[in-house]
Each structure stands twice: as C-alpha cells, then as structure tokens.
Structure 1
Amino acid sequence: MSALKIARNEHGDDVLKVLEPLTRRVTSGQWDVHVDQAQFERLIRGEKAGSLRTYSLLRPSVFAGFKGVLVH
C-alpha cells in the first residue's frame, strides 16, 4: 500500500489512523522526515522493533512569501 493511500485513509481504517500523521508529513513535501535507522532496519527485516521513532523538521521554504515570521 502506498504512503498516499495510507495518508488518505479513505475507509477510516483504525490501523491506518495510527500511521496517518506520519504519512501526511512524508508525502506533503513540506517536511524533512528522518527515522532511527536501527529501528527501521529491524522493521524491514520483520523483527519485533517495539516502536519506530521518527523526527520531522518543517522546511523553511514553507514561510517563503511572508513578510515576517514570529516563532514563540
């Protein structure tokens, strides 16, 4: 199943709801998404990883066109 289908979750699947926020960031183009490499490799191998930790950074280009940006 593609990341776009997971992000859309057209049928309201409960499992996909858990993945939806991550897949929306991955497919949006506005975020740089990083993952703990060791956890990801265990997941790909089918081992019990327990969790998959990701880090997302909003790209500065999102603010292009604004006269100014105030961050609290």
Structure 2
Amino acid sequence: MEITNRESDVIELLAQGLTNKQIGKELGISNHTVRDHISSMLKKTKTTNRVELAVFRGKMRKTLLCSQLD
C-alpha cells in the first residue's frame, strides 16, 4: 500500500478535523479532488469512513516513530 504525497497532505488535514471544502482550499484543489483522494485512501487502508482513516493515520505515525527510535 502506497499513499501518495498529496494523499498524505489530505489525510493530515482530515485528521485535524477539516472538511473536504476546507482541505481543498488549504491545498488549492477542488473539494471533489479531496473526495477522490479520501476515497482512494479508504480503499488502500481498508477503512470505511473518515474517522477510521484518521485513526489509521495515527497508528501509522506511531509505528513510524517507534521504528525510528529502535
């Protein structure tokens, strides 16, 4: 599973609680493009909603930090 840089940008803002419209404005892309990125990430991570996706991001970040400490 590979998350693109743009998808990573979107998921960071999503985890902060921003709406698709707010994310699009922040990144200079349409809210439809944001929706498409979120949809792609839901499939890649096998999650079913925005909350699960944000939790997945938190787990991945924690795993990455722990592996850097080893």
Which of the five TM-score ranges fits, normalised by the shorter chain? Answer: under 0.3
Which one has a larger percent helix, Structure 1 or Structure 2?
A: 2
- Normalising by structure 1, what TM-score? 0.26
The structure whose RCO (Cα within 8 Å, separation 6+) is larger is: 2
Which one has a larger percent strand, Structure 1 or Structure 2?
A: 1
- Normalising by structure 2, what TM-score? 0.27
